[in-house]
Amino acid sequence: MSEATFAVEDLFDGYEISSDKAGPKYLILVCIHGNETCGVEAILALRDSGELFNLVQKGALTILLANKQAYLSKTRIVNRDLNRSIGKLDLSHSYEKERARLVASLIEKADYILDIHSTSLPSPSHAIPCHNNTSELLASSLCIQYMVTKLAHLTVEGGTTMDYAKSVNTCAVTVECGQHDDKSAIETAKNCIRNFLQDQQLIQCKLQLECKGSIEVKEGFQFIQKFKGFDFIKYKQQVAHDSMGQILCPFKQGAYIVMPNLNPQIGEEAFFWAVKTSSDS
């Protein structure tokens, strides 16, 4: 077993906790966006209690604070979104190129990946698995309120941790633990880490949804009101408008808004549409 202490700086290049027993290689990614700190705060709390080291009963766990410069400056990004940069070969900024290579190299070595995030607007906790059966099974075992399938690979730019994990056929899940400044997001992150490392297969998510697409931000985009994550929108109810006109819910059964963006920029996703799966109907 590794020494039972480390500093946050040790996470900048990846810190490994090893068990004496053979087993899987686990990877936890935190702060790929520097202002999403619930993951690193959960790791440090579990370190301080000693629980983190006891959770690694077999194999090895690597923890990476992915976007160290953004974390230190308390910003989401430095030059460009690191979570749209993984696996891309044409990056013009040396910092993101270096960090993206590090993230990719650790993903390639891992058997199971948990990428911990938080949201800009209020939202229940939810898991976003890679589009494969093992990732969806892992997501369903985490202590979250919703699981949203078929969303992980729908970002406009691609280059996410989930995209890269899928490209190397690795089991991976992103967890959105709640809003950035919500202290309960830290507790959710801690519980997800526990589930992740203890191989618990307890179906705890309240509702499984399937993503049906996203709304890309165009000129003049504006929400008509303040929405929260997983607000339910009725058929033909207006959500926003842009230079093309009104943006209405196109699904006859209604749909949920997933990850509404507080400050959406042109070319980004303003939000995703998700509907109940047939098994939940």
Read off the pLDDT of residues 111-165 as tens digits, 9 standing for 90 and up.
999 999 999 999 999 999 999 999 999 998 898 999 999 999 999 899 999 999 9
Report the pLDDT averaged over residues 100-107. 98
Read off the pLDDT of residues 231-265 as tens digits, 9 standing for 90 and up.
999 999 999 999 999 999 999 999 999 999 988 88
For the chain, give the mean pLDDT.
93
- Whether 8-205 and 211-276 share one fold: the answer is no
pLDDT at 281: 43
User: Among all chains, which residue has been given the structure tokens 């926003």?
Assistant: 240
- Which amino acid is residue 107, in one-letter code? I
Q: What is the pTM of this model?
A: 0.92
1 pLDDT band, cuts 50/70/90, is very low
Reply yes or no on domain 211-276 having CATH 2.40.50. Answer: yes
Strand pairing class (207-216; 255-258): unpaired
Q: In sequence order, which residues have a C-beta less than 8 Å from that of residue 130 and are 6 or more positions away?
A: 152, 153, 162, 165, 166, 170, 171, 172, 173
Provide the residue ranges of all domains of the chain, joining segments of one domain with +.
8-205, 211-276
Question: Could you give the percent of the chain with pLDDT greater than 70?
Answer: 94
Task: Identify the CA nearest to 168 among candidates 216, 110, 128, 212.
Answer: 110
Superfamily name and number for 8-205: Zn peptidases (3.40.630.10)
